[in-house]
Amino acid sequence: MVRNKKNWILPKGVEPTEFDLKVLSFQEKGHLVPPRSLIKTQEQIEGIRRAGEINTGILDMLEEKICEGITTEDIDRWVAEYTEKHGAICAPLNYEGFPKHCCTSLNEVVCHGIPNEEEELWDGDIINVDVTTIKDGYFADASRMYMIGNVEPRTKRLVECAKECLEIGIEAAKPWHFVGEIGKAIEKHANKNGFTVVRDLCGHGTGTCFHEDPEVDHYNTRKKGMLLVPGMVFTIEPMINMGTWEVFCDEEDGWTVVTEDELPSAQWEHTFVMTEDGLEILTH
């Protein structure tokens, strides 16, 4: 596919605003700029924020309930019940054939783990629960790590470091700078701690559909990527590995992504809106 770099289009017969001229100045220099459709209105941002509030409520509720002895099927059921009670929809269910309400990714599972009755949580496990809520047509996407009982120190450090990577990514995302800064900062921090960054999966635009532009890589691609313009809504969701960054997808279920060396992986995710002052979290 040929990328259309000249994609900030002025409506016919309307004077360009200062905002238009600013985006156009980047476009004229050959930078990748977002199409106008990626800039959310205030009304859309408020809708995404409301979806975010429910999404956060779910992840908070799970803090109280996740413990040794439960199954990932239990987690799925709690997510489904809470979402329904709040008049919302679980975006993962039936998304490209995904069979459950959320993703539960245990230990060496990087992401997209499928909840099931056979999978029990044991002392020392780490698990990511990734929840995406649709409320009145607006999407919010976030995930957290949960630790069960006594987790090995190095594994605990992996979980903490993955959280720090998200925080560092947030700081690196500046309006009128480029998306590439995010992955550059994240990879530096992960590597400094002896960990690696998954390359095959990325953060993404969201808000009015599940996944859209921009692609938010979490490693240093050595490319600038898309210009970050106020009003863009997207996720950052670094997956940090204990060993190799390489992963594979389970051929049987077509979803579960696992580390190549079967060492643990950790991930944290938020949905943000870019403002003139930097990122604002919509899934707090």
Positions touching ligand MF3 (CB under 6 A) are: 92, 95-96, 98, 103, 112, 130, 132, 141, 237, 255, 269
Q: Which residues of this chain interact with Co ion, rule CB under 5 A?
A: 130, 141, 235, 269
How many alpha carbons lie under 13 Å from residue 7 in its C-beta half-sphere? Answer: 16
27 alpha-carbon distance from chain centroid = 27
Least separation in angstroms between CB 26 and ligand MF3? 27
Instruction: Return the one option of ligand MF3, Co ion, none that residue 18 interacts with (CB less than 5 to 8 A, by type).
Output: none
Residue 180 CB, nearest distance to Co ion (Å)?
19
**3-state class of 154 per DSSP?**
helix
**CA 73 centroid distance within chain:** 22
Q: Which residue has the tokens 């969701």?
A: 237
Name the residue nearer to ligand MF3 (CB basis): 149 or 254.
254
At which residue do the structure tokens 């499928």 appear?
A: 114
Give the shortest CB-112-to-ligand MF3 separation in angstroms.
Answer: 4
- Residue with smaller CB distance to ligand MF3, 74 or 130: 130
Binding partner at 133 among Co ion, ligand MF3, none, C-beta below 5 to 8 Å by kind: none
Q: For ligand MF3, give the closer residue by CB, 60 or 152.
A: 60
Sequence letter at residue 85: K
CA distance 40 to 102: 26
**Do 238 and 165 form a contact (C-beta atoms < 8 A)?**
yes
| Three-state secondary structure call for residue 82 | helix
Closest to ligand MF3 by CB, 181 vs 237, is 237
Could you say which of Co ion, ligand MF3, none residue 98 binds, taking C-beta under 5 to 8 angstroms by partner kind? ligand MF3
Angle, alpha carbons 39-41-42 (nearest 5°): 135
Cβ-proximal residue to ligand MF3, closest one: 92
DSSP letter, residue 114: P
Give the residue with the Cβ less far from Co ion, 76 or 141: 141
